[in-house]
Amino acid sequence: MDGSTQRPVFGGEAERIGTRLDQATDEFLKETKSCSALQIPPGQDQLTAMEFVNYLGINLQLEPELAWVAREMLAAPMPPQASMKVSKAGVVYFHDTVNDYYTIEHPLTQRYLKVLERQRLDLLCLRTKPSVNGLLFSQPDMLFHRQFRNLQIPCQSCGVMQSTLKCNQCLMSFCQSCADSLHKNALGPRKNHTFLTTACGSLCSTCAVKKPQVFCANCEDYFCFKCFEDMHRRGNRLQHKSMLVSVSDGDVIEPQKRCEECEDRPAAFACDYCLDNYCVQCFWKCHFNGHRRQHTASKVAVVPMCNQCQNVRATIFSEQTQELMCTECFTMLHAKGNRMLHLFMDSMDLLVLLERLDPAFQEHMRRARPRVLWALSQLQGWVKGIEARRSFRKRKDVVLQIQRRWRGVLTRRRLLGMLHMHKWRRRQVNSYFLPKTAAERRSVKQKCSAMLAAKDVTTKAVNSSLRELRDTILQTASADPLEDENRTRETVQDIGTADGFGATTTGFPGAAQTLPSGISPYTNYEGSTRFNGALAATGPITMGGAGRSADLSNKDIRKVRDTTLRQITRLD
């Protein structure tokens, strides 16, 4: 068994080597190496939605519409058999109270990953329905809330009133009533969330009388014009950067109640002091001057409440049971059994939810989902092919280089084997024909001596024949009147000196190597007159005239005309 799969030792042996890990701790440490963990950021005392965004792997730049899944997971309470704990380093881990098991994976991770996968598919299907796709808010509002404290937008729950509070954990802006309906009576982590006041919900930080009109980025606070001018008149505060705060009310979405002033338009607000319902225009007409300027208003819009507890604002819609529920009730009712597989949708935006519950739209989604899945599978294969095609040439070169080297190694091994075999075979053949006994070796020596002696006799006979030929040439030189006897003798002597007639050289052992003193019977290619026209050993025998030759060794006398009288008398 290798070291990667071998479990550490425990008990006395573990104490002997200096470790006290038990089995559960060992499994916990192994799990932490392959699992993402939740960690509370420095300077904070609880988790925010951004930690769950990173935990679930949501890209807010590409899919900001799915941020609600992280918010719901943040607000979900622990299941009955689990509890959440925080280490000193801020790492969040969970305890399974039934099996007494510790893990850093959230107990509801698989549920929300499944919901996230389904919502990503539905989001792609929504792209094919422009009428519903246009209702989605496609901006990363979480990033805006995190970066700008003075972000003033309408309430993200009702959309009617201007937001007066911003939740630091949900990273959403609410009006006071929506914040109370969502956080005040909550049973889960939402009851511990903290808030910041927005420009509409706060007053001037100095006089605490007027509504804020300026936000100072360096002071990170709101001021009215007069207080801002007094506070930033001198010193380093002159360099502070500021911006104007513009506050405006939202549109009316409650059509049931009518304005009691004009009796025509739908009511948007109910004055807490007048106890009357007003539309946006009539409310400001009646409360523009006097003491009514100080009156406060409550929104008329009705937010959906949970069907189970009827106490907390409904944030999700169960697809299987077809009912609106809050996060706490949904988590408790779906903690075990087949209900753990139930999926849900976001119900914070009622307009989008009503459109998605339309039977015609549901039929469109039913037909679009398999087509989108098919397109995704094709796209994933094509994308994987892109990466494969990019590195195909590089991997091909590497593979070919490895193959060439391996084949070269095999070829060298084969050639070396053949060479060794050839050498071994030669040694075997040579040793086979070598004499084995002393008698055989003596016989071979006698044969070699006889062969060398016969060769010596032959050489002597050849030399004797050459000497006789030389003597014959010298004796018959005076027979031809056209031949110069002295020139012939000089030529024969020069040839004999150059070829070393009469010199003795060492040859085979035990045999006399006597070379002839006359013309050599052996010649090389350069010295041969058979293949070239130049004269090598035998020079031209001239008759006294320039360019004339009487060399008979390279001249065919059968094609030569008879010597004329003019040639004999040397008149030409």
| pLDDT by residue, tens only, the chain of 572 residues | 444 455 555 555 555 555 555 666 677 666 666 667 888 888 888 999 999 999 998 988 888 889 999 999 999 999 988 999 998 888 899 999 888 888 888 999 999 999 999 998 888 888 887 777 776 777 777 787 777 766 777 788 877 677 888 898 888 888 888 888 888 888 888 988 998 888 777 778 888 777 777 888 888 888 888 888 888 888 888 888 877 776 543 333 444 577 888 887 667 677 888 888 887 668 777 887 788 877 877 656 556 778 888 888 888 888 888 888 999 999 999 888 888 889 998 888 776 777 777 777 888 888 888 888 888 888 777 777 777 777 788 888 888 999 999 999 999 888 888 888 888 877 777 777 777 788 888 888 898 899 999 999 999 999 899 889 888 888 888 888 888 888 888 888 887 766 555 444 444 444 444 444 555 555 565 665 555 554 444 444 444 444 444 555 555 555 555 555 556 666 65
Distance CA 208, CA 223 (A): 9
Distance CA 14, CA 54 (A): 38
DSSP 525: T
Is 400 exposed, middle or buried, given 0-12, 13-18 or 19+ CB atoms closer than 10 A? Answer: exposed
Q: What amino acid is encoded at 61 in this protein?
A: Q
Query: Within 13 A of 384's CA, how many CA atoms are on the CB side?
Result: 6
Main-chain phi, psi angles of 233, to 5 degrees: -90, -30
Distance CA 22, CA 100 (A): 13
The three-state DSSP-derived secondary structure of 245-277 is CCCCCCCCCCCCCECCCCCCCECCEEECCCCCE
Distance CA 324, CA 330 (A): 9
The three-state DSSP-derived secondary structure of 320-338 is CCCEEECHHHHHHHCCCHH
Distance CA 153, CA 178 (A): 14
**Domain coordinates of the chain in residue numbers?**
25-123, 150-244, 269-364, 365-427+443-491
Structure token pair of residue 201: 């919900």
Bridge partners, residue 299, by sequence: 269
Helix (H) or strand (E) holding 448: helix 438-475
Structure token pair of residue 533: 């026209």
